[in-house]
């Protein structure tokens, strides 16, 4: 797989990253067992992927533990990203220590602020993150779900990446993307398939009770779902014309968007990962890209840029 710079960190990552949220042990979502999850990680690494993303909050460390088992013996081949919610500075070190223990490593390549907490000041948090970087516990600092003002603060502390939700259906505010591009910050989006809405798997009836975390995704809400599925139908149509899968079209659209460094995708089985990886060999025509861009904006513009994909954010 092609490798690209992760902002100004000096780290290179593949253009697809395995997202390990679904390895947190939530029933009915993700690999059917820990053994299957570890085997899947081995398959992903064998495919050439070098980037895996997890978080403290995914099963209270369970996902980190599985990732640690999956990369055991191959640590030097993998860029590991994990995350924690913004917290008081005195809690940063213990959170990182817990991640290191779960992952079975003595450093994390990219440690991400999972969500900013508006009731807490950002500067003390990042000052402690910088200390952790200088101590060698982390190689680089990233953020997730930050707006433009928060990015301006983060950039003063050498943050190298932003992880926002981004897909044909859900965008990032233009001023945030412009800031990242102008300041050498990598954009590594999550949920590029809109949690399966853009894979061709859902009908109007099946999407009404999607299960798991999708239940809180606003794109599945009763008033938005019909329009989301209209966009999904456009993705299906283009996939049929190109002789590929809907997931590959949706991922190719994200990867062809200017300013996007790589995309995080989850998988429950090797065949699903292989299908997603096929997007790396796909190029959409300018007309198809614009068609999907316009279709998705019809959904995205129904929301305020500060809205959260999950209908929730920390206060």
Answering whether pTM is above 0.85, one says yes
pLDDT of residue 204: 65
pLDDT of residue 216: 86
Residue 223 clears pLDDT 90, i.e. is over it: yes
Residues 50-78: b if buried by 16+ CB within 10 A, e if exposed: bbbbbbbbbbebbbbbbbbbbbeeeeeeb
Phi-psi region of 190 (alpha: psi -120 to 50; beta: other; left: phi over 0): beta
What class is the 3-194+258-282 domain? alpha beta
Contact 18, 52 (CB under 8 A): yes
Q: Decide which of 204 and 228 is more confident.
A: 228
Task: Report residue 241's pLDDT band, with 50, 70 and 90 as the boundaries.
Answer: very high
Average pLDDT over residues 277-297: 98
pLDDT of residue 172: 93
Give the catalytic positions in this structure.
58
Average pLDDT over residues 28-41: 91
Q: Name the DSSP letter for residue 165.
A: B
Residue 211 clears pLDDT 80, i.e. is over it: no
Kind plus residue range of the DSSP H or E element containing 17: strand 16-19
Contact 138, 99 (CB under 8 A): no
What residue ranges do the domains of the chain occupy?
3-194+258-282
Best CA proximity match to 49, nearest among 279, 244, 284: 279
């Amino acid at each position: 797989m092609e490798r690209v710079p992760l902002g100004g960190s000096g780290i290179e990552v593949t253009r697809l990253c395995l997202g390990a949220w679904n390895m947190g042990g939530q029933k009915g979502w993700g690999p059917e067992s820990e053994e299957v999850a570890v085997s899947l990680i081995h398959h992903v690494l064998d495919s050439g992927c070098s980037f895996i993303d997890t978080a403290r909050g995914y099963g209270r460390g369970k996902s980190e533990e599985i990732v640690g088992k999956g990369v055991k013996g191959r640590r030097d081949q993998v860029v590991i990203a994990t995350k924690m919610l913004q917290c008081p500075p005195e809690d940063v070190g213990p959170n990182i220590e817990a991640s290191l223990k779960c992952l079975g490593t003595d450093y994390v390549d990219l440690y991400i602020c999972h969500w900013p907490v508006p009731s807490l000041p950002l500067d003390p948090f990042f000052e402690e993150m910088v200390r952790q970087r200088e101590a060698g516990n982390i190689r680089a600092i990233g953020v997730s779900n930050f707006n433009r003002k928060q990015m301006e603060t983060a950039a003063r502390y050498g943050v190298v990446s932003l992880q926002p939700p981004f897909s044909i259906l859900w965008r990032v505010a233009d001023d945030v993307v412009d800031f990242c591009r102008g300041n050498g910050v990598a954009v590594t989006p999550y949920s590029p398939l809109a949690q399966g809405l853009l894979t061709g798997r859902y009908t109007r009836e099946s999407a009404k009770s999607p299960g798991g975390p999708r239940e809180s995704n606003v794109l599945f809400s009763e008033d938005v779902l019909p329009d989301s599925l209209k966009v999904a139908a456009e993705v299906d149509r283009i996939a049929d014309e190109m002789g590929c899968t809907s997931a590959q079209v949706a991922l190719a659209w994200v990867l062809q968007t200017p300013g996007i460094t790589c995309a995080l995708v989850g998988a429950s089985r090797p065949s699903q990962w292989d299908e997603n990886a096929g997007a790396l060999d796909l190029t959409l025509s300018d007309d198809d890209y614009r068609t999907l861009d316009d279709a998705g904006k019809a959904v995205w513009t129904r929301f305020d840029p500060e809205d959260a994909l999950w209908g929730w954010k920390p206060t």
